[in-house]
Every structure is written in C-alpha cells, then in structure tokens.
Structure 1
Amino acid sequence: MEIPTLQTDRLLLRPFSAADVDAYAELNANQEVMRYIDKVQDREAAFRSLCANIGHWHVRGYGPWAVEDRATGRLIGRAGVLAWEGKPGPEVGYALHPSVWGKGYGREAVARCLRYAHETMGARGVLSVIHPDNAPSIRVAEKLGAFLDRELVMKGELLLVYRYPDP
C-alpha cells in the first residue's frame, strides 16, 4: 500500500521512514509527550512503535503519519487516524514535540487528519480519546467542533471520548 502524503500551510504529514527513528525515539522518550499517551519508551520500544504505525496502514488502510515542519524539514511529531484494538471507533490522535506546543500545530494536524478521514475514508463518528487532565488536547478537539460524547475506562483509567461532527 502506498501511504499518502498530506500538506497544510505549515506541516507535511508523510509516511514514516527509517530516517525518522532517532527523532521518533526522542519524542517517545519524552515524559511530557507521553504523559497522557503511554509509558515513555526506550529506543527499541520506540522502533517497534514506529513499525506498528507503518503496519497500521497495511492492516487497516489508514493510520498515523510523521508530522514534519515544512519550514525546517524537522520531524516534530505524529498524527493520524487510528483504530487500535480496544478503542471505541476511528480515532484521530497526535503527539508533538514540546518545542512546538502552543503554536497551533496540533489543531492544524488534527484538522487535516479529520478532512482525510471524512473525505477519503468516508469515516463517520470520528473520535478523540483524551485523558481528562490533557487540557490542550481537549481545547484542540473543541475548537474543531468535537463534543464530549461519553466517559470510558480503559486499563483502569478514566478517559473522555470526544466526537467530531460528521460533514
């Protein structure tokens, strides 16, 4: 399967490659980045995660992209449409390097992922599953029109399920 490349004004959402391993491992080793996602990962676990992201495309036909800053060519995170086992539906998720937090990149990446989900995949009922303490991600979801649909307990942890409006 050929993974598409998408653009926004400032971002390139592209397939992951072997050249991304160092930056991806740095991202996943960062406690701030992983606080609401999962445990921090060593390089080996981050490599497996990167491979799982690529594999998601081949199993589901969609998945996460590497998020690159178009101005610098630097990998600054990941974003995409996901359907991991145990999640309640197609989910838009993202993680960005702290150096770019607060600059609107999360909103820009999620908006482009939503557009892809709706226009290319024909997805309906797209969600974001967000930890209740993750105020920045809640703001991103709400700015893009999502509403709190329900609460969910996964692995003993309370999570909020935000639903985006269908087109």
Structure 2
Amino acid sequence: MTILTTERMILTPVAVTDFNDLKAVWADEAFTRAITGRALGEEEVWFRLLRDLGHWQAIGHGNWAMRSRDTGAYVGSVGVLHYLRELDTPFDAPELGWGVATAFQGQGLAREGLEAALRWADTVMKAPRTVCMISPDNAPSLKLAERVGYRPYADGFYKDHLVHLLERPAAV
C-alpha cells in the first residue's frame, strides 16, 4: 500500500491502530458539523474504519491517515475514494475526500495532504478527472477545493442534504 510524504506530514493507509485517533476526531462536533451534522459514536467510527480498510484491500487505494512528521500526531485524513454514493447525480470519477482535526485547522495541512493525494491520483492512478462533494455550509472546504483546481459542475442531494459537486481535471 502507498505511503505519501509531504513537507510536514507522513500519509499512511488508514490502519486499525488509527482507531483511537479517529474516535476523538469523529466525536468532535466542530469537525463533524459540515460532514455528518453530528458527532459519531464508537460503533459508527469502527464501521467507517472497517470500510476504509476494505477499500484499500478491494481496490488498492482509499483514505490515508495524515500524521505530523515531527510528533506523529494524527492530523486528519485524505483519500481517493470509490464509495458508490447514492447521489442523484452519481459520481463518474474517483472522489477526493479530506478532513483535518480541529486542532490542526488553519495551518495549511489540509491543502498539503490534498495536494499529495491529487498528485498521486494524477500520476499513479492516472485519473483524467476527480470529483468531490461539499456541503454548502462548509466554506473552508469549498475555498480549499477551489485553490487546488476544483470547479462546481452540479448540485445534488446526498442523504437528503444539499451538496455541491465539484470536478478537477488532472494536472498532467
């Protein structure tokens, strides 16, 4: 499985050893507000972790855990995903997803991790295009998506919530 490095982080495929860090992040309502709308309990986090482990096993890519190179602290996650989401405008390209723990927000780490994952999608996966979905209320993620080249192409509904669908052509 693929390990990515950036100036400040090491990105490793999500592992069972990430569970406690994931529980802490997904229990933080400030983190989950724009993603799920509520904090997640241990069972839901465990099922998300199992999904992500299986994602790597089944298709060879998925979420990376982003950790500080200096301290090993869990920063968040970024991934190239194929979740078969039940959207009214289905995704037809690999999906990028990201989230940074509240304590690390505003430091450029989400962008650093996202750019590493996009380089991988562009050069290794050779995806001609990637997509993402972001809640209209998530201004920081919308701004970040625009900074790395995503542009809106549709609005849709995911689990009865409005989401903006964005696309980005490969940089190479």
**TM-score normalized with structure 1 length:** 0.93
Q: Which residue in 2 is equivalent to 1:143? A: 147
Local SS of the residue matching 1:94? strand
Alpha-carbon shift at residue 46 of structure 1 (Å) = 1.0
Is 1:165 the counterpart of 2:165? The answer is no
Q: How big is the shift at 1:17?
A: 2.6
Q: Deviations over 1:18-51 (max 9, x none)?
A: 3221111111111111112224211222122112
**Structure 2 counterpart of 1:109:** 113
Q: Which residue of 1 aligns with 2:11?
A: 13
The Cα RMSD (Å) is: 1.3
CA distance in 2, matches of 1:77, 1:92: 14
Counterpart of 2:24 in structure 1 is 26
Q: Which stretches of structure 1, 4 residues or more, deviate above 6 A after TM superposition?
A: none
Aligned to 2:63: 64
* CA deviation after TM superposition for structure 1 residue 108, in Å: 0.7
Q: Structure 1 residue 161: deviation in Å?
A: 1.0
Aligned residues with identical type, % of pairs:
30
Number of the residue aligned with 2:72: 73
- Give, as a single letter, the amino acid of the residue that structure 1 aligns with 2:26: N
Deviation, 1:15, is 2.0
Q: 2: distance between equivalents of 1:121 and 1:162?
A: 19
| SS state at 1:25 partner | helix
Aligned amino acid, residue 54 of structure 1: L
Distance 1:104 1:63 in 2: 21
1:85 is displaced (CA, Å) by 1.4
Unaligned runs of 5+ residues in structure 2 are none
**2:16·2:49 contact (CA, 8 Å) conserved in 1?**
no
How many pairs are equivalent?
165
In the other structure, the counterpart of 1:50 is 49
* Kept in 1: contact 2:129–2:169 (CA 8 A): yes
